[in-house]
Amino acid sequence: MEKIIEENKQGTSLALEQNKANAKKLFIESYGCQMNFSDSEVVASILANQGYNTTQNLEEADLVLVNTCSIRDKAEQTVRKRLEAFNAVKKINPTMKVGVLGCMAERLKSKFLEEEKIVDMVVGPDAYKDIPNLLQEIDEGRDAINVILSKDETYGDISPVRLNSNGVTAFVTITRGCDNMCTFCVVPFTRGRERSREPQSIMQEVQDLWEKGFKEVTLLGQNVDSYLWYGGGLKKDFVKATEMQKATAVDFAQLLEMCAVNFPKMRFRFSTSNPQDMHEEVLHVIAKYHNVCKYIHLPVQSGSTRILKEMNRQHTREEYMELVDKIRRIIPDCSISQDIITGFPTETEEDHKDTLTLMEYAQYDFGFMFAYSERPGTLAARKMADDIPDEVKKRRLQEVIDLQQAMALKRTQRFVGQTVEVLIEKESKKSDLHWSGRNSQNTTVVFPKEGYKAGDYVLVHVTDCTTTTLIGEAVGYSEMQS
């Protein structure tokens, strides 16, 4: 099982490429989902054209940006503490500018500027191209805020600056926004309507990564399975499309196959899938191509159909289980992970038991599990009382975690004695004599370095495991090795 994460922090880091002509310094941190990490790379690219290189040294920064998450309260509290730290440095360096980006910026808007006065700039997820103008607004003594949501912005014309890069794996965003109005989620309000990015711009970005030596790409979106391009990005406009446009439309299965065919020596992953939108064609593409990883992140949130209805999830317990059956049938060696929320309003012990039994049915490899926290602006916050006591939420969460740990060990044990293909990503955290990478099923594999290097595809014979990691020895290069 992967570590339970309240918020993921990408510390400020040097970009893969620095422009020696740039004289100003940008310090940027990201919290939350992979989309935020990807967005930070877009922002770094925009600012690189404005004379900024990234820095790891907060004290030398001319501009400090924090890319924020509003999914859970703890993430917001962490960001507030970081802003306090930034402002302490700003007292020493008064020319430093501080800005908030992303979902938290969109949700709190002018509160940061007018009420709390802890930032100079507030920028929503669709307004990053406006940052150069907002910096000028600051210089001229005016409030710098743009949180306007867009119906068509995908940043498809921006070549991201890769931050905190290992030079092996990278994210490529294919959709933005979300049309699913889950009652617990702020994303539709902070990131706007769902729209898809033009496929050729996606392919060009992947080509650029391949030419720079990257070996694996994760295609990102709030819901990648609903990707649809026919000459316009919004799904709702598909009904207005001509027959020719419909005939030449590109859906997610086709996009994934385009990636697999055009870049046979590059591995592909994707995240996140929504159960009601995952079509069988996608499963067949995964099964058909060796370089499409056998791993699906499939959020369920609850195993109770009643609670799923309260959450406005567009699937039932039974439909989700049927999808799991289909995945197991078409891709027998596929790993599946989950998102689960415990203690959603009105959740009973019977509802909780439904979640536990669904987990046992799905046999998840790992997951991301949280106790429910009310998010301002959501339908659940407006219409539903947060009526489950904290101690009950925590107890149910612990039961979910304990079950997931037991399943995770069983799932990793199945690899012991097998030989798996691993893409080397970095040194092991515990030993500089070992490499760390992942197999197709997204499980971490650790093995002695010997003569291999980061970016190599190697075959590793697995001799032992923990709940999260496979341990073994390399026995040679795989056929994926160029």
User: Are 423 and 443 contacting, i.e. CB atoms less than 8 angstroms apart?
Assistant: no
Cα–Cα nearest to 456, from 475, 437, 430, 432? 437
The one-letter amino acid at 248: T
The whole-number pLDDT of residue 336 equals 98
Least confident of 41-50, 146-155, 303-312, 403-412: 146-155
Q: Encode pLDDT of 59-110 as tens digits.
A: 999 999 998 876 666 667 788 888 888 988 998 988 999 999 987 777 777 6
Burial per residue of 394-413, b for 16 or more beta-carbon CB atoms within 10 angstroms, e otherwise: eebbebbbebbeebbeebbe
CA distance 255 to 293: 15
Q: What is the pLDDT of residue 70?
A: 65
> Tens digit of pLDDT for each residue in 124-134?
889 999 999 99
Confidence of residue 17 (pLDDT cuts 50, 70, 90): low
Average per-residue pLDDT for the chain: 89
CA distance 186 to 201: 28
Tell me the percentage of the chain whose pLDDT exceeds 90.
Answer: 69
* Homologous superfamily of 169-413: tm_1862 like domain (3.80.30.20)
Q: CATH second-level architecture of 419-477?
A: Beta Barrel (2.40)
pLDDT over 70 for what percent of the chain? 91
Minimum mean pLDDT among 130-139, 282-291, 295-304: which range?
130-139
Model confidence band, residue 163 (pLDDT cutoffs 50, 70, 90): confident
What CATH number has the domain spanning 9-146?
Answer: 3.40.50.12160
Hey, where are the domains in the chain? 9-146, 169-413, 419-477
Identify whether the C-beta of residue 193 lies closer than 8 Å to the C-beta of residue 223.
Answer: no
pTM value is 0.86
**Structure-derived torsion over alpha carbons of residues 364, 369, 372, 376, reported in degrees to the nearest 10:** -110
Is there a contact between 443 and 365 (Cβ–Cβ < 8 Å)? yes
User: HSE-up of 115 (CA within 13 Å, CB side)?
Assistant: 5
Task: Say whether pLDDT at 11 is over 50.
Answer: no
- Two structure tokens written together for 308: 């799923």
